Structures are given as structure tokens and as C-alpha cells.
Structure 1
Amino acid sequence: MSKQLFKSTAIVSSMTMISRVMGFVRDMLFANIFGVNAATDAFFVAFRIPNFLRRLFMEGAFAQAFVPVLSDYNENGSREALQLFIDRTAGTLAVLLMLITLAGVVAAPLLIMLFAPGFLWESGQYELAVQMLRITFPYLFFVTLVAFAGAILNARGKFAIPALTPVILNICMIGAAIWLSPLMAEPIMALAWSVFGAGVVQLLFQIPALLRLSLLPRPRWGYRDPAVKRMLKLMLPAIFGVSVVQVNLLFGTLVASFLTTGSVSWLYYSDRLVEFPLGILGVALATVILPRLSENHAADAPQAFSKALDWGLKLVLLIGLPATLGLTLLAEPLLSTLFQYNEFGSEDVRMAGKSLMAYALGLLAFMLIKVLVPGFTARQNTETPVRFGMYSILANIVLALILVIPLAHAGIALATSLSAYLNALLLLFSLLKSRIYQPCREWFPYIVRIVLANAIMSAFLYYFVDVTLWLDWSASQRGLHLGMTIGLAILIYSSALVLLGIRPRHIGLQKSVTT
């Protein structure tokens, strides 16, 4: 039912918000302690690769392949068969991941050459990035097993522990920045070690919850098991299908490595701000809606399947559009308030603001992809998202190479946003064409009301907020004014929604999405 979906989404969103807030604290410390320089560019490249993998696995890719198969077992199999499937999946994954991790550590110089070839002209920066990647790459092993445990918990309706787990990474990195970095010859290396340590702690954090459900995996080699084979067959295209945006971000890092020093860092800080609303709503919705869609498909309930998608898309529009406009209009004030301390100056705010505005324009598309891809993978159709993802990646490559010339690093961010809209539209049109998704009749008046409410909020931000004054204010003044501005914007938007007639029933909170 929609109320249960909404409650589950709220749980995941609140846990994710804690993680994102801790992430902001982490990044504020990074800006304050390390600033923007060649060493931070090297770390952000070395961190981008395992963090890219974390986003793939933690934010849905593994679940896209595993949960539909698990739902089949829940619906049609015995408890013993379910446990055997979990055990064999755990054992097979562990062995494959060990081999991949060893290969990644050995191939670290090649990976840095591939993802940041511009570093080759700065030998010290290149060698530092290779060193740090060798330390951070094993995070892949731990984070995939963490995602495996989280998928088991999510399939049983336990969302809080998996959603809270990313907080551990932020806590470890904050501790390393404050206490470990002053003790090291190269302070930035402390952050690489914190990524490795966080992976171990995150995996241990899942064990008590699995024990309570009596589903703690007892790893067994099971590569020949038909269900494990089916899951692995779905997994590779599922990873690609939900990770197109992250692949595009990695390509952006590659191009940015050829630009002026600081470009990689400016893109990183911009991406971090966009990730805040994306994680709170987009990832939360994808996490919650996938088990529901998988259950509906396993139960052969196409109407309930369509209604669940309808609910998710309405919620994305309700929250995603004002978040997109707010980030775009408040780009520099946000960056100035959060990061303009000591080593992170006003010029860094200005440059990062350009890329933040470009990334923010794509936020709505990033969220839509998170909801639309499960519409395919819940039916164990991973080929279609992969095909559309390829179109998006090709578009991103072409657009980035064109736009980087006039817009520098901001052109890279804009290319990522535009290619995300292409991906989202292709996914949506395919679901509509196949009649898997049939929109409810209330969509047109709903869109009109949402657009009008956003126009009112945007007019307030554009005409009554003087962003040019922000850089000259003290830190406390910036924080106070930003808080007041965001609070007033939310109040104006909410009031406009009520006055325009938006009610809970418009997003299905009073309707069932199950049969």
C-alpha cells in the first residue's frame, strides 16, 4: 500500500539524511584542512573509483539483480531453499570479488592512467594517486558484501540498517582527517586508509541484523547453481543500467584531469551537493520501490505494478523539481556557506558554483532514473536499461568534448545533466509504449499545480535573494541567511501547493498499490 511505501521511504530518507549531513561535515573539514590543490585532486580521483563502485552496489545495482530472484524464493520456495540460495550467492561473490580486488590493486597504475590521464604530466601527482588507489580499491570487496547483506534486509522490509551504513564511511574519514592526517608524512594518505577501514566496519555492522532474521550467510561455492547463475547474469547489466550517471561522472573526471588544477575538486564539491537531495529521495525511492515492484511482478499484478511506479514518479516531481531549482539558484551561497574557510577561497566558490548549477539542472533526471530503472529490473529485464544507458554515455562523451571548450569544467557537468535527461526519457517512453506503466488520469492537473508552485518559489529566490552579498559576509552571517532563505523557500513552496489544491491523495497516499 502507498502508506507503507511512504513510511519505508521516510525511514530510508531519514537514515540517508544523517549520512549526507555527516558527508557535508566531512567535506567541510576537507576544504578547511586540505584546500584545493594537486594532492586533493589526486585523492578525489583515487576515491572516485571505489566510491563509484560503492554507489553502484550500495545504491541499488546489486539489489536490482538479487532482489527479484530473492522475491521468487519468498513467493514460491521453501525456507531451506532460500537459505541455500543466500549461502551460495555469498560464497560465489566472495571468491569473485577477491580475484577482482587483487587485479585492481595490481592494475592501479593503469586505472589512474585510464581515469585521469592528465596526471601523467605531473609525476608526483600520478604516483600519489596510484598509492592511494591501491589502499582504497579493496573497499570494493567489502562494499559489495555490504550491499548483499543490505539487499537481504531490504527484501524483508528492514531498511534502516542498510540506509544508515554509509554513515560509517563519513565517520571514519572525519576521524582520519582530524587525528590521523597530522601524524603522516603525506597528510592526504590518511583519507585513503580511512576508506579501507570503513569497508571492514560497514560489513561487521550488518551481522547483528542478519542474525536476528536467522539469515546470516554461510558462504558456499555455488557458481553452478541455476539461481546463482541467473542472479549473476542479471547483475552485470543491472550494474550498468543503474550506474550510467556514475559512468558519466567518471568520464567527466577523466576530461577534467586535463584542465586547470582544481577542476577535479570543483566538480567533486559540486557533485556532493547534488548527491544530498538525490540520496535522500532518489536512492531511498529506488531502495523501497524495487522490492514492491518485484513482489507485484512475482504475484502477476500488473495494475499494482503500474500504480507503484506512478506513486514514485509523482513523489519525484513533487520534491525533485524544487530541489533542482533551489540548487541552481542558490549554488554559490550554498558553496560559500559550507566550504569557504581557510584553504577554500572565494574563487573556488565561484568556479565550483558554475559546475554546481550545471549538475543541479540534471537533478530531476537523476532522480527519475532511480525510479524508472526498477520498472525494468523488477521484471528481470536488464537489457533495455543497458541499451538506453549506452546511448546516454555516448551522448555524454560527445557533449562533454564539445561543451568543455567554451565552459571548461562546467561544460563537463552540463553534459552529464543533458545525457541523464536523454536516459530518463528513453526509459519512460519504453515503459509507456509497452503499457507496463499506465499513468493515472490526474497527471495533467498535478503537473500544472507543481509547476506553478515552483514558479512562485523560484520568483522569491530570484528576486528577493541577493547572492552577490554572500561572499562578503562572515561564516555565521552566511549560515544564518542561508538557513532563513531555505526555510522561507520551503514555506512558500508548501503554502503554494496547499493553495493550488495539492492533497495527499494526489500522490496516492490514500490509495492501495497492491492487489
Structure 2
Amino acid sequence: MIRSFLTVSTGTLASRLLGFTRDAMIAALLGAGPVADAFLVAFQLVNVVRRLLTEGALNAALVPAWLRVRETEGAVAAAAFAGRVLGTISAALIVVTAAIGLLMPFVMSALAPGFAGHETLQLAVDDARLMLPYLAFAGPATVMMALLNAQARFALTAFSPLLFNIALIAVMIVLFGWRGDAATAALVVAATVGIAGLAQLLILVLRPGGGIATPLRIAFDPHMRGFLGKAIPGMVASAGPQLLIVGGAIIASSSPSAVSWLYFANRLIELPLGIVGVAMSTVLVPEMTRALRIDDPQSTAHAQSRGLELAVGLALPATLGLAVLSEPVVRLLFEHGVFTAADSMATANALMWLAFGLPAHVLVKALSPAFFARGNTMTPLFATLKGFVVAIVLAVILGHVYGAGGIAASIALGAWSSATSLIRHGAVEFGFAIDASARRRLPRIVLAALIMGALLWLAAPGMLASSANPHGIVQGALVALLITGGIAIYGLFLGFFGVIRRDEVVNAVRQTTGSGLRD
């Protein structure tokens, strides 16, 4: 499980790092004004649907169903089931894409009511329509990735999303040399989103060794309706973090540049969230499904325990690091081109509040597979919707008083509402079984993270004050040194407390590089 987790996490980390490069270029190209707000609202629409399908969401619904068919009816029946899923989802998304394109003015008015009566609304409509083809390509690509994950072939699915960011970065490099107006640049980048989706699909379709989804056909038989009835709630539940940020953007749309500030702050949250959350959904769901199929409580507890340890062990230090270093990191990454110092301050303030919701997001990702593996997608769905309502209500109140920072705090509180709801329901329905090792390690992980955060908080002001340029090479080196030092301190204390051993880490990495990347 650790080897698979590292494979998926490595691919996700590479994709997120490219995503930072992409977003830094978007900030420099579009700034944080009306053009950027319009582009980013449109991009969030595509991104939410993308996250509903990709990054583990559809995987959490399809993998248990596919494994169940293969184990009870055989490989041929599993391939036929996968072919029906692939054909049905692809056809449905084509219809949905066309419908959204026709209704886009109404969709954008609902997602960004503050744009009504302004030119920003039409800009958002134009950008979103150009991005829509991506949705038609994302459906079949996601089904193929989920089927590969079900067969424990994680490498291609982990690294294929890199093409999305590579395509956007390449186009923006050309746009910087072209130096046209921001509105036209936004339209060009929006059109590239669809092309990037096609590239991602082709790399999966043209891979060697097919036949896992044949014959391809559209079906709405009882078996397929039952699958979709469970899949759709699970997909919505898995996209909880993105739905919360969309809810925040709905409220923020009435404030100039607030949508952009929230978007760029959330991008930093998505790095640790993506590494942990995607790996949880991609690796933990198959592990728990197999354990439940053979009625092995020990294996189930082992999977839940290791998932919870990995989630807390990566999310908590990331939360503290982002909260302490929010301002220098935002300045370093985004304060270029037409993205101003005032934009950096507002984004850093939003990031600090969003960071406190990161552990809750990761807990949801770690706890949801326990429900998905049991075929229960409704409980995570209701928890997600509850968090969304809490975030919206609080954003109206706190956003009016504290602006974008208040909306960010509301999103964090909405995430905690979802997490606590899952914890309560899981404890009542089946109990979250964790082994003795997890009960011993988890308090030590928390203590090591708190020590790291305290030392980082003490060291950061003195070190960063020595750099006059807030986004120069020296500042970048100092921020990198602080991050590297924080990771080293955290790792040392994990070792000192007996949470990890050097030989375990070395063996896991060797297994990953030796066989995990050859899937």
C-alpha cells in the first residue's frame, strides 16, 4: 500500500508543482482584476466537473463495483460492465457539455451573481464555452484511469494529468512573448483547456494492452442505473473541497478581485490536499474493498490505520507551514507582472484561513473510503452538502464583515462541519477500527508537527527580514531553506518519537522506483 501511495503521490506532486507554475503564469498574465475573475470563475466550473470525475472521485465509485463484478462473474463480465460504463458516461457528458454551453449565461449568473450587469459576466461566458470540450474528454479518460487503478496499475494514471498543465504552460509562454491584451490571452488559454483534455485522453487510449472495457456501448439497464445511483452521490461527495471553494466564489463575486484572491490561495491548499486526498481515494478504496470482500477485520483496520496516519502526518505540518509562511510564499509565487503587492497581501490572508481547513479536507478524504468501500455513498454526500450550506451561510455573514478573509474562514469551517459529520456517522454505523500501532503513532505525529510549526514560527521573521526584495532570488532561497528545514525537523522528530524508521522509508522508496513506476 505504501508503494502505491508513493507512486500516486509522486505523480500528483509533479502535477501540482506544474500547476503552481501554471497559476503563477496566469497571475502574471491576467493579474487579479475583472479579466482574471472572469477566467477563474469559468475555470472553476470546469475544474469542479474535472474533480467530480478525476482525482479519485469516480475511482471511488467505479473500483468497488468493477471488483465486485470481476470476483462474482469473471473477467469477461467485468470488461463488458466497464464498456457499458465507458460508453454511457462518455455519451452523457457529451449531452451535458452541449446543454451547459447553450445555458452558459444562466450558469455563470448562478455561479457569479456579482458579475450581473458588468462586462465580466460576458467574459466569463466566453471563457467557459471555450473550456467546455474538456468535459467531454474527461469522462472516458477518467473511466480508463479508474479501471487501471482497480488493477493496481497506478503509474500511468498518476502521471497522465501532467499533460494538462504542460499544454497550458506552453501556450502561456507563447502569450508572454506575444504581449497581447489580457482578455484575448484569457480566451486563448481557455481554448487550450479543451486541447489539453484531448491530449490526456489520447495517452490513455494509445497505451499498450487494451481490452479492459469491451464491448463499448451505451446502456441504462438496472445494473447500470444501480451503479450510477451510487456513483453520482459519491462523485459529488469526493469533490467537497472544490464545491466549498465554488460556494465561496459565489459570495466573493460581488467584491472586485476577491474571486482571484481566493482562487490563488486555494491553489496552495490543493498541493498537500491533492497529494494526500488523491492517493487516499486511489489506493485506499481498492485496499478496503478487498478487505471487506473477504471479511478480514484485521486488513480493514490496517488499511484505515495507515490511511489515517498518512493523512494526519502530511496534512498537519502542511497546515502549520502554510499558515506561518503564507505571505512570503504568495509573494514569491504570484507577485509578478500585473499581480500587485496588495493582491499578495489579500491572497496571503485568505490562505492563512483556508489552511486551517486543510486537516478537515484530508480527514474527509481519509474517512470517505470506509463508506465507499461498503457501497454507502449517501452519507459522504450529505456530509459534503451540509458543509457546503454551512460555508455559504457563514460566508454571507463573515464576508460582509471581513471580506475575502472571512469567506476563506467560512470555507474552512464548512470543511470541519463535513469532517465531524463523517466521524459521527462512521462511529455509529460501523466504528472506525484503528490498530494499536496507529493509536501509539498518531499523538506522536501531532506533537512532532506542533514542534515543527513552533520552530518555523520563531525562525521565519528573522530570516526573511534580511531580504529586501520580497520575490527575488534571495527571498526564494530563504523560503526554500525554511521549508526544507521544517521538513527535516519534522522528519527528525518523527524518527526520535519512533513513528518512522529509516529502513522502512528506504525500502518503500526502493520498491516504488523499482516496480511501481513500470505499471
- Is the shorter-chain TM-score for this pair beyond 0.5, marking a shared fold? yes
Whether 1:97 aligns to 2:97 is no
Cα shift at 1:328: 0.6
CA–CA separation in structure 2 for the residues paired with 1:428 and 1:322? 22
Q: 1:86 aligns with which of 82, 91, 115?
A: 82
Instruction: State the shift of 1:108 in Å.
Output: 0.5
Cα distance in structure 1, aligned partners of 2:152 and 2:468: 46
Structure 1's 220 and 135: CA in aligned 2 closer, same or farther, altered over 3 A?
Answer: same
Matched letter for residue 144 of structure 1 = G
- The reply to whether residue 165 of structure 1 matches residue 163 of structure 2 is no
SS of alignment partner, residue 212 of structure 1 = coil
Tell me how far apart the structure 1 counterparts of residues 60 and 495 of structure 2 sit (CA, whole Å): 36
Whole-angstrom distance in 1 between the partners of 2:106 and 2:353 = 30
- 2:264 and 2:347 in contact (8 A); partners too: yes
| Corresponding residue for residue 498 of structure 2 | 501
Q: Does 1:25 align with 2:21?
A: yes
Q: Which deviates more, 143-152 or 392-401?
A: 392-401
Measured after TM superposition, the shift of residue 231 of structure 1 is: 1.2
SS of 1:13's equivalent? helix
Q: CA deviation at 1:444?
A: 4.7
Q: Deviations over 1:269-293 (max 9, x none)?
A: 1011111111112211221111111
Question: What are the Cα deviations for residues 393-450 of structure 1, in whole angstroms up to 9, with x where unaligned?
Answer: 2211221112112221111111111111121122123222233422223445433322
Question: Where do 1:260-279 residues align within 5 Å?
Answer: 261-279=256-274
Aligned partner of 1:203 in structure 2 is 201
- In the alignment, the residues of structure 2 paired with residue 184 and residue 377 of structure 1 have an alpha-carbon distance, to the nearest angstrom, of 48
- Label 1:340 to 1:217 Cα distance change in 2 as closer, same or farther (>3 A): farther
Identity %: 33
The corresponding residue for 2:189 is 191
Q: Which amino acid is 1:493 matched to?
A: Y
Amino acid in the other structure paired with 2:499:
I
Aligned-partner Cα distance in 1 for 2:98–2:469: 50
What residue in structure 1 maps to residue 441 of structure 2?
Answer: 446
On the 8 A contact 1:336/1:471 being kept in 2, the answer is no
Q: Tell me how far 1:245 sits from its aligned partner.
A: 2.2
The structure 2 residue matched to 1:115, chosen from 111, 120, 143, is 111
Residue in 2 that maps onto 1:513:
none
State the secondary structure of the residue aligned to 1:373: helix
Q: 2:313: which partner in 1?
A: 318
RMSD of aligned Cα (Å): 2.3
Correspondences of 1:379-458 after superposition (within 5 Å): 379-458=374-453
Q: Residues 183 and 87 of structure 1: is their aligned pair in 2 closer, same or farther, counting only changes over 3 Å? A: farther
Structure 1 residue 8 displacement after superposition: 0.2
Structure 2 counterpart of 1:19, which letter? S
Q: What does the per-residue CA deviation read over 1:197-227, in whole Å, with 9 as the maximum and x for residues that have no partner?
A: 1111111111133x41532544212211x33
Go from structure 1 to structure 2 and tell me whether the alpha carbon gap of 1:93 and 1:221 turns closer, same or farther (over 3 Å shift): same
Q: Report the Cα offset of residue 303 of structure 1.
A: 3.1
Inter-CA distance 474–128: structure 2 relative to 1 (3 Å threshold): closer
Q: 1:444 to 1:235 in 2, by over 3 A?
A: closer
* In structure 2, distance between residues paired with 1:126 and 1:384: 36
Gaps of 5+ in 2: 508-519
Q: Determine the C-alpha separation between the residues in 2 that align with 1:442 and 1:276.
A: 28
Measure the CA separation in 2 of the matches of 1:475 and 1:339: 12
Aligned counterpart, 2:231 = 235
Q: Does 1:34 align with 2:30?
A: yes
Tell me, yes or no, if the aligned pair for 1:310 and 1:437 is still in contact at 8 Å: no
Contiguous gaps of at least 5 residues in structure 1: 511-515
C-alpha separation in 2, matches of 1:231 and 1:439: 30
In the alignment, is the contact (CA less than 8 A) between 1:311 and 1:508 conserved in 2?
A: no
Query: After the TM superposition, which of the residue ranges 437-446 and 164-173 deviates more from structure 2?
Result: 437-446
57, 61, 68: which one aligns with 1:65: 61
Cα separation, 1, equivalents of 2:168 and 2:103: 25
After TM superposition, the score normalised by the length of structure 1 is 0.93
Q: CA deviation at 1:48?
A: 0.6
* Contact 1:257–1:263, Cα closer than 8 Å, also in 2: yes
Secondary structure at the counterpart of residue 247 of structure 1: helix
Residue 362 of structure 1 pairs with residue 357 of structure 2? yes
Q: 1 CA distance for matches of 2:442 and 2:467?
A: 34
Query: Is 1:488 equivalent to 2:497 in the alignment?
Result: no
Q: Secondary structure at the match of 1:342?
A: coil
Q: 2:212 aligns with which of 212, 215, 218?
A: 215
Distance apart, 1:183 and its partner CA:
8.1
Q: Secondary structure at the match of 2:436?
A: coil
What TM-score do the two structures reach when normalised by structure 2? 0.92
Query: Which residue, out of 56, 61, 68, partners 2:52?
Result: 56
Q: Do 1:362 and 1:417's aligned partners in 2 also have CA atoms closer than 8 Å?
A: yes
Relative to 1, partners in 2 of residues 1:399 and 1:127: Cα closer, same or farther, differing over 3 Å? same
Deviations 1:354-409 (A, max 9, x none): 00001111111111111111111111111211222222122112211121122211
Aligned length: 503
Provide the C-alpha distance between the structure 1 equivalents of 2:392 and 2:471, rounded to a whole number of angstroms.
40
- Give the conservation status (yes or no) of the 8 Å contact 1:184–1:190: no
After superposition, the Cα gap between the structure-2 partners of 1:469 and 1:234, relative to the gap in structure 1 and judged at 3 Å, is: farther
Contact 1:20 1:276 (C-alpha < 8 Å) held by counterparts: yes
